[in-house]
Amino acid sequence: MDASKIMFRDGLLADETILVTGGGTGLGREMAEGFLKLGATVHICGRREGKLQETAEELKALHGGTITGHGCDIRDPEAIDAMLDTIWQKGALTGLVNNAAGNFISRTEDLSINGFNAIADIVFRGTFYMTHNVGKRLIAEKRRGNFLSILTTWVWNGSAFTVPSAMSKAGINAMTQSLATEWARYGLRFNAIAPGLFPTKGMSARLAPQGRGDNSQSNSNPMGRHGEMHELVNLAAFLMGPGAEYVNGQTIAIDGAGYQANAGNFWQALSPLGDEQWQQMRDLIKASNQQDKSERTA
Ligand code: HXC
């Protein structure tokens, strides 16, 4: 990210302590960087402890401040509880960014139950476990809190070939709207961002394994480009910062109007593919999954 394009004053988030799930890489890392630059105390978690420590050190070297990496698989409620105990010893969170996700393109008829669960356990269940645990702590301690989930525009229209992700993220959209009302009385607010294409390594490996996704999708975007990371980070900082408290229960798209132009999903691009192409993509995706798995500690 080009940090000079952050649109807020230094120190905006000085009173905030924010946990970004999946913060070691991709969009999570970018948001963690933005929050750190704006003065927040930042925690990042994920399954690859080494990657998290590396990211924490790199971001600290760039911006100073306090950022801590935690190995934690959000599919495991006990691991979440242990991580939050550790965080709370240093100070309560004021914000949670539900960014961790899992996804891969597949014809739905090719999915096994394990394949469905691999995604639903992270996105649907894991996001709830995190939100529920942090929410209960804040309610018990009578503290305010701010929750942001990273969704997609598929929560409004579904997405062929990424059905477990579309279903799970739609569930988190419903959680956002539901808790925005139920927990407002505790001073907790809930919003979500639905990003269009912001290319990251993890996403490209699973959604465009043959390198076909980025430019072809950018060309069909009305703005003729994909998103720039600072644009996403500015929206996240606005939603996580002080001064926008009355924004509650919203899912805000940032996609250059891709959703309006081409539904923002995979139906058109992937419908023509045949057996052989799907097999090739499955092999490429599984090789990336194996590579990631070999780096995991949590
Ligand atoms: C069919 C597949 C498959 C594929 C995995 N599986 N890849 N099935 N096609 N391409 C099946 C496996 O065969 C196995 O089922 C089951 O899924 C679990 O596989 P594991 O590799 O053991 O799973 P796990 O280690 O838990 O990894 C979870 C994961 C992985 C979701 C599969 O991709 C992951 O960890 N991803 C995290 C990062 C990520 O996905 N980032 C991109 C997010 S993009 P069997 O039956 O064989 O046991 C995003 C939205 C983007 O979220 C929006 C853009 C607009």
**pLDDT digits over 23-33, tens only?**
999 999 999 99
Nearest to 69 by CA among 92, 84, 88, 50: 50
d(CA 75, CA 272): 34
3-state secondary structure 86-110: HHHHHCCCCEEEECCCCCCCCCHHH
In this structure, are residues 58 and 64 in contact, taking their beta carbons and an 8 Å threshold? no
Give residue 55's identity as a one-letter amino acid code: T
Average pLDDT rounded to a whole number, residues 62-85: 98
> Among the atoms of ligand 1, which is closest to the Cα of residue 286?
7
- Residue boundaries of the structural domains of the chain: 8-297
Reported as a pLDDT band with limits 50, 70 and 90, residue 151 is very high
Class of the CATH-defined domain 8-297: alpha beta
Q: Does 107 contact ligand 1 (Cβ within 6 A)?
A: no
> Among the atoms of ligand 1, which is closest to the Cα of residue 282?
10
Name the percent of the chain lying above pLDDT 90: 88
**pLDDT digits over 111-149, tens only?**
999 999 999 999 999 999 999 999 999 999 999 999 999
Computed over every residue of the chain, the mean pLDDT equals 95
Q: Does 289 contact ligand 1 (Cβ within 6 A)?
A: yes
The per-residue pLDDT for 217 is 58
Per-residue pLDDT at 233 exceeds 50 = yes
The per-residue pLDDT for 256 is 97
The per-residue pLDDT for 202 is 84
Q: Does 230 contact ligand 1 (Cβ within 6 A)?
A: no
Per-residue pLDDT at 2 exceeds 70 = yes
Per-residue pLDDT at 169 exceeds 50 = yes
Distance 270 CA to ligand 1 centre (A): 18
Reported as a pLDDT band with limits 50, 70 and 90, residue 249 is very high
Both structure tokens of 16: 């905030």
The per-residue pLDDT for 215 is 45
Determine the length of the chain.
298
d(CA 115, CA 111): 6
Per-residue pLDDT at 216 exceeds 90 = no
φ/ψ region of 264 (left if φ > 0, alpha if ψ in -120 to 50, else beta) reads left
Per-residue pLDDT at 171 exceeds 90 = yes
Distance 103 CA to ligand 1 centre (A): 5
Per-residue pLDDT at 290 exceeds 80 = yes
Distance 247 CA to ligand 1 centre (A): 33
Q: Which residue among 25, 104, 173 has the greatest number of ligand 1 atoms within 8 angstroms of its CB, and so is best to mutate?
A: 104
